[in-house]
Amino acid sequence: MKKMMVYERGGGGWQSTPPRAIKVFCWNCRRIGNPTTIRELKQLLVANDPDIVFLCETKIYSNCFPRIKNVCRMSNCLADDSNERSGGLAMLWREWLEVVIQSYSSNHIDSLVKLDNRIDIRFTSFYGHTDLNFRD
């Protein structure tokens, strides 16, 4: 993939354009395994056209995500297993994004997203009770 730097004429000369905005979609899907939920997710993605998708309460095993990733037309995916009764996290992202996963657990996914202008942004998605006494 060829990187291209776009320049625009500013008041003081030529300046690089600001980085492209990244659209993020977060959804508590409450079980992603059934066809109705997958269809609903696909419709939401078409309507919102996100670059990164974070799903929580997937309630399925991570080995089921290649199919979901393909249906949603996302190139990359990290999924954490659920215990089928609760939990399960997934992060999907577009091909053009360079995402480096820093860490993940059953409650979070921490990543660095590299933008076109070589700036890294941290994207941390999490799911869990805000009160530490109620967490597993």
Q: Is residue 12, in this structure, part of any structural domain at all?
A: no
Low-confidence ranges of the chain (pLDDT < 70): 1-20, 84, 129-130, 135-136
- Cβ–Cβ contacts within 10 Å for residue 38, how many? 16
| 87 falls within a domain | yes
**Residue span of the structural domain in which 45 resides:** 19-96
Split into its structural domains, the chain has a count of 1
- Residue 59 sits in a domain of what CATH number? 3.30.110
What's the pLDDT at 62? 82
Yes or no: say if 127 and 52 are a contact pair by the CB < 8 Å rule.
no
Q: Quick check: is 127 in a domain? A: no
39: in domain: yes
User: In the prediction, which pLDDT does 107 show?
Assistant: 86
Q: Please give the model's pTM, rounded to 2 decimal places.
A: 0.77
pLDDT the model gives residue 87: 83
Q: Which residues pair with 24 in a beta bridge?
A: 52
Q: Is residue 62 part of a domain?
A: yes
pLDDT given at position 84 = 63
